[in-house]
């Protein structure tokens, strides 16, 4: 036996498998494989920024997702059916009506408001408005909620306005605050409310009521639970913790198609998404719903700061998803200037115009920025204008920021991009076929950013078959990480409620209350948790065609061995790690496996497929091992 494992269950299993491994072929259904790696022979460097995140407003990723705002349609948008997500409350004998007042709003950006006219109400029969939230409101025990609203009233004196979180079924008030609104001028009111020892649930709604006849105008009604790092206007704690566990080194934002917009007017217009929320007009997103724009440019940067990620800033490049194109040349100049202003907002000292704006928004210190991406998927531009558009952005950015790496979204002629962004969305077999995609890439050409990729099997979140395709693909990324400098799965997030998803196969699922990682999420966690700084000379022979591996190492610290068996039978494998040396090497084995490719995690069964970790000891340089059927394993060995 070459190694032992101290977890009891795994120890017994592994011992049995090891004893039989060498006479294994008919027993395990696969001929034994041999993996040889020479730790003394470095092959290529591994990019320290290989694993990161890609994000956009899709699948209710921010609104109804990561962005912790609880109120849906806090700015009272309406359509032919009335004010979306808000409902009139007329309790008992009260009577009221609600309409949009297009003449009254607290700011230029929010120039309308909800006008609530209560004709009759009293303490027993209050009237007001109800918000349904993003498929409910998560209320947890002993939790503080922080709210604000803009209001004015025609009532004389102070009008007592009650804000409450109410259980849908029982009508019980779970938390509430009294907000005295006074005067005919718009003012912002802040309030807090605290839940008691209630059961955690999302089957709740919000009520805003008054107990007398009065007219009340409301705009920008907001309510936040506690957020990650207690940031005001911040992010959901459970989702941030799941992202942190992926050890991401960068965040590519703000999209994706969300950057492009359906047309030019609905692009990610960063200048309209900074500063106080009341100055953000909101906009229709590419993915069929409206964006509150609470997640604006600074919020993305703070997200990077919180998770120690480098921003990879994508700038709008004159092509929108619906086909609108801004011609290269003078027409494009204003958009290039917008991008330069945006870069200055991110990186400029507070003495610059952009830096001063950022300081006004509460962050005087500049952010570090190494990468700017020009556009998104410009291969879909039928006018074929990207060569010209990219060159115009490239030259302007390099003239002012020579150290920035400028990413192109497709191969271009004219200027030579620093990095090219490749996207892959495939079925499981398609990802296996891509495992060697970068083995022969020209090392003198641009670097590669795999800015979006996923094995698309399973919905809303990937199943084990997808995780196996992903893991196989990642072995190829690691082997070629001298040229593939960054990679990010997409889409990252999905709200699993009916209507929440616009794109199936998304890494992390959630509803208002809970969240879970898919098997593919755990594959990412495992791969990014152990990554050496170089690859070594290695080779695999024998075994089936669904066995994949990667060996990375860091001198004098660790060896990271990744093994993937996507076959439905166990795979015996004899591993030699030359140069590891004799003696005992403590190691950590993480193992993810399932009985079928369809096995998966769900919002109600979040932990069916999770990594099992165990401490093991590798004796000497040889391991006789059996890779279970449909498994992903990462072995981190101390050197
Ligand atoms: O990830 C979903 C979409 O796929 C992205 O918005 C787009 O860039 C790609 O086509």
Q: Which CATH number is 155's domain given?
A: 2.60.120.260
Verify that 48 and 155 share a domain, yes or no: no
Verify that 473 and 606 share a domain, yes or no: yes
Q: Can you tell me the distance from the alpha carbon of 89 to that of 209, in angstroms, rounded to the nearest whole number?
A: 8
Within 8 A by CB and 6+ apart from 515, the residues are: 236, 238, 239, 242, 508, 509, 603, 606
Question: For ligand 1, what atom is nearest to the CA of residue 287?
Answer: 6
Verify that 325 and 455 share a domain, yes or no: no
Identify the H or E element spanning 500.
Answer: none
Give me ligand 1 centre to Cα 345, in Å. 26
Cβ–ligand 1 contact at 254 (below 6 Å): no
Q: Can you tell me the distance from the alpha carbon of 418 to that of 374, in angstroms, rounded to the nearest whole number?
A: 11
Is 73 within the bounds of a domain? no
Per-residue confidence at 31, pLDDT binned at 50, 70, 90? confident
Residue 575 tokens, joined: 């591993």
Q: Which CATH number is 491's domain given?
A: 2.60.40.1180
Per-residue confidence at 135, pLDDT binned at 50, 70, 90? very high
Residue 192 tokens, joined: 């807090």
Asked if the model's pLDDT at residue 34 lies above 90, the reply is yes
Verify that 201 and 149 share a domain, yes or no: yes
pLDDT, one tens digit per residue, over 494-532 is 999 999 999 999 999 999 999 999 999 999 999 999 999
pLDDT, one tens digit per residue, over 167-185 is 999 999 999 999 999 999 9
Mean predicted confidence (pLDDT) in 415-426: 98
Question: Of 7, 11, 22, whose CA–CA distance to 625 is shortest?
Answer: 22
Is 59 within the bounds of a domain? no
Q: What is the pLDDT of residue 10?
A: 31
End position of a domain, from candidates 417, 446, 465: 417
Question: For ligand 1, what atom is nearest to the CA of residue 452?
Answer: 1
- Ligand 1, atom 7, residue with closest C-alpha: 256
The residue to mutate among 260, 379, 503, having the most atoms of ligand 1 within 8 angstroms of its beta carbon, is 503
Verify that 390 and 466 share a domain, yes or no: no
Asked if the model's pLDDT at residue 196 lies above 80, the reply is yes
* No. of helices (H) and no. of strands (E), the chain: 11, 35
End position of a domain, from candidates 388, 417, 446: 417
Is 63 within the bounds of a domain? no
Is 67 within the bounds of a domain? no
Residue 328 tokens, joined: 């290269």
Asked if the model's pLDDT at residue 17 lies above 50, the reply is no
Asked if the model's pLDDT at residue 32 lies above 70, the reply is yes
Asked if the model's pLDDT at residue 20 lies above 60, the reply is no
- Ligand 1, atom 3, residue with closest C-alpha: 256
If you ran DSSP here, which 8-state letter would residue 224 be given?
E
Q: Can you tell me the distance from the alpha carbon of 482 to that of 442, in angstroms, rounded to the nearest whole number?
A: 11
The residue to mutate among 378, 424, 491, having the most atoms of ligand 1 within 8 angstroms of its beta carbon, is 491
Cβ–ligand 1 contact at 377 (below 6 Å): yes
Cβ–ligand 1 contact at 260 (below 6 Å): no
Mean predicted confidence (pLDDT) in 59-67: 98
Q: What is the pLDDT of residue 29?
A: 61
Q: What is the pLDDT of residue 204?
A: 98
As a dihedral over the C-alpha atoms of residue 312, residue 495, residue 60, residue 165, rounded to 10 degrees, the angle is: -120
Is 70 within the bounds of a domain? no
Verify that 520 and 598 share a domain, yes or no: yes
Question: For ligand 1, what atom is nearest to the CA of residue 377?
Answer: 8
Q: Can you tell me the distance from the alpha carbon of 368 to that of 244, in angstroms, rounded to the nearest whole number?
A: 19
Q: What is the pLDDT of residue 411?
A: 97
Q: Can you tell me the distance from the alpha carbon of 515 to that of 534, in angstroms, rounded to the nearest whole number?
A: 35
Verify that 468 and 505 share a domain, yes or no: yes
Integer CA distances (angstroms), 477 to 37, 474, 507, 581, 621, in order:
18, 5, 18, 28, 26
Give me ligand 1 centre to Cα 256, in Å. 5
pLDDT, one tens digit per residue, over 475-500 is 999 999 999 999 999 999 999 999 99
Give me ligand 1 centre to Cα 568, in Å. 32
Integer CA distances (angstroms), 630 to 278, 565, 595, in order:
51, 5, 7
Verify that 262 and 183 share a domain, yes or no: no
| The three-state (H, E, C) secondary structure of 608-622, written as one string | CCCCEEEEEEEECCE
Verify that 188 and 257 share a domain, yes or no: no
Question: For ligand 1, what atom is nearest to the CA of residue 258?
Answer: 6
- Ligand 1, atom 8, residue with closest C-alpha: 256
End position of a domain, from candidates 417, 443, 472: 417
Asked if the model's pLDDT at residue 466 lies above 70, the reply is yes
Cβ–ligand 1 contact at 503 (below 6 Å): yes
Q: What is the pLDDT of residue 18?
A: 37
The residue to mutate among 254, 321, 377, 451, having the most atoms of ligand 1 within 8 angstroms of its beta carbon, is 377
Q: Decide: 120 and 196 in contact? Cβ < 8 Å.
A: no
Give me ligand 1 centre to Cα 268, in Å. 15
The tally of CA atoms less than 13 A away on the side-chain side of residue 208 is: 33
Identify the H or E element spanning 396.
Answer: helix 386-400
Verify that 405 and 531 share a domain, yes or no: no
More confident site: 26 or 468: 468
The total domain count for the chain is 3
Is 71 within the bounds of a domain? no
The interaxial angle of helices 519-529 and 464-479, nearest 10 deg, is: 30
Is 62 within the bounds of a domain? no
The range of the structural domain enclosing residue 608 comes to: 1-52+235-244+421-639
Integer CA distances (angstroms), 629 to 199, 525, 546, 566, 593, in order:
41, 20, 10, 7, 7
| Length of the chain, in residues | 639
Give me ligand 1 centre to Cα 53, in Å. 14
pLDDT, one tens digit per residue, over 280-331 is 999 999 999 999 999 999 999 999 999 999 999 999 999 999 999 999 999 9
Is 194 within the bounds of a domain? yes
Asked if the model's pLDDT at residue 210 lies above 80, the reply is yes
Q: Helix or strand or coil: residue 357?
A: helix
Asked if the model's pLDDT at residue 572 lies above 80, the reply is yes
Verify that 440 and 550 share a domain, yes or no: yes
- Ligand 1, atom 2, residue with closest C-alpha: 491
Verify that 295 and 261 share a domain, yes or no: yes
Identify the H or E element spanning 426.
Answer: strand 419-426
Cβ–ligand 1 contact at 470 (below 6 Å): no
More confident site: 210 or 22: 210
Cβ–ligand 1 contact at 256 (below 6 Å): yes
Integer CA distances (angstroms), 415 to 330, 407, 409, 542, in order:
19, 12, 13, 45
Neighbouring CB atoms inside 10 A of 41's CB total 12
Mean pLDDT of the chain: 95
Chain Cα centroid distance, residue 63: 12
Cβ–ligand 1 contact at 491 (below 6 Å): yes
Mean predicted confidence (pLDDT) in 271-276: 98
Q: Can you tell me the distance from the alpha carbon of 260 to that of 322, in angstroms, rounded to the nearest whole number?
A: 9
**Alpha helices, DSSP H, located in 200-262:** 237-244, 257-260
Cβ–ligand 1 contact at 56 (below 6 Å): yes
Question: For ligand 1, what atom is nearest to the CA of residue 503?
Answer: 2
Mean predicted confidence (pLDDT) in 41-50: 98
Per-residue confidence at 639, pLDDT binned at 50, 70, 90? confident
């Amino acid at each position: 036996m070459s190694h032992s494992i101290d977890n009891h269950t795994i120890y017994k299993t592994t011992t049995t498998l090891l004893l039989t491994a060498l006479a294994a072929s008919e027993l395990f259904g696969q001929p034994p494989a041999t993996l040889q790696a020479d730790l003394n022979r470095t092959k290529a460097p591994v990019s320290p920024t290989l694993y990161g995140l890609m994000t956009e407003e899709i699948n209710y990723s921010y609104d109804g997702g990561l962005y912790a705002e609880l109120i849906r349609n806090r700015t009272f948008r309406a359509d032919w059916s009335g004010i979306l997500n808000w409902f009139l409350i007329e309790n008992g004998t009260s009577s009221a009506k609600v309409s949009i007042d297009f003449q009254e709003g607290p700011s230029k950006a929010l120039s309308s408001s909800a006008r609530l006219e209560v004709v009759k109400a009293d303490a027993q029969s209050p009237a007001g408005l109800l918000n349904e939230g993003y498929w409910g409101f998560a209320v947890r025990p002993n939790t503080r909620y922080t709210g604000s609203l803009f209001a004015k009233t025609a009532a004389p004196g102070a009008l007592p306005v009650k804000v409450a979180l109410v259980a849908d079924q029982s009508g019980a008030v779970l938390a509430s605050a009294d907000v005295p609104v006074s005067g005919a001028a718009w003012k912002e009111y802040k309030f807090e409310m605290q839940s008691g020892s209630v059961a955690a649930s999302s089957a709740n709604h919000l009520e805003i009521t008054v107990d007398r006849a009065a007219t009340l105008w409301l705009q920008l009604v907001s309510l936040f639970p506690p957020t990650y790092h207690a940031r005001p206007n911040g992010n959901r704690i459970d989702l941030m913790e799941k992202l942190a566990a992926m050890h991401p080194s960068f965040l590519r934002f703000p999209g994706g198609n969300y950057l492009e917009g359906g047309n030019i007017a609905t692009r990610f217009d960063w200048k309209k998404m900074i500063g106080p929320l009341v100055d953000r007009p909101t906009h229709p997103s590419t993915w069929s719903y409206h964006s509150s724009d609470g997640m604006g440019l600074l919020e993305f940067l703070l997200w990077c700061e919180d998770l120690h990620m480098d921003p990879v800033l994508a700038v709008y490049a004159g092509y929108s998803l619906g086909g609108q194109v801004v011609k290269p040349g003078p027409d494009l100049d204003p958009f290039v200037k917008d991008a330069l202003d945006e870069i200055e907002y991110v990186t400029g000292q507070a003495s610059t115009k952009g830096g001063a704006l950022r300081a006004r928004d509460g962050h005087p210190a500049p952010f570090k920025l190494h990468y700017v991406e020009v556009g998104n998927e410009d291969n879909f531009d039928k006018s074929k204008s990207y060569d010209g558009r990219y060159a115009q952005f490239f030259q302007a950015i390099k003239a002012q920021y020579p150290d920035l790496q400028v990413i192109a979204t497709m191969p271009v002629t004219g200027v030579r991009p620093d990095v090219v962004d490749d996207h892959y969305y495939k079925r499981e077999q398609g990802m296996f076929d891509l495992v060697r995609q970068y083995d022969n890439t020209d090392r003198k050409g641009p670097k590669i950013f795999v800015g979006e990729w996923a094995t698309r099997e399973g919905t809303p979140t990937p199943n084990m078959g997808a995780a196996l395709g992903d893991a196989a693909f990642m072995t190829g990324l690691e082997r070629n990480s001298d040229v593939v400098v960054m990679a990010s799965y997409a889409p990252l997030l999905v709200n699993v409620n009916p209507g929440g998803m616009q794109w199936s196969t998304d890494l992390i699922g959630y509803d208002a209350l809970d969240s879970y990682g898919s098997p593919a999420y755990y594959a990412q966690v495992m791969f990014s948790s152990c990554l050496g700084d170089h690859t070594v000379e290695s080779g695999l022979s024998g075994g089936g065609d669904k066995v994949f591996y990667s060996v990375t190492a860091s001198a004098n610290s660790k060896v990271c061995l990744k093994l993937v068996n996507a076959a439905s039978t166990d795979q015996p494998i004899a591993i030699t790690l030359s140069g590891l040396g004799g003696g005992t090497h403590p190691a950590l084995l993480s193992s993810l496996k399932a009985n079928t490719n369809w096995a998966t995690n769900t919002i109600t069964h979040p932990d069916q497929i999770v990594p099992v970790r165990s401490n093991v000891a590798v004796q000497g340089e040889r391991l006789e091992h059996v890779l279970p059927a449909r498994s992903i394993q990462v072995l981190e060995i101390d050197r």
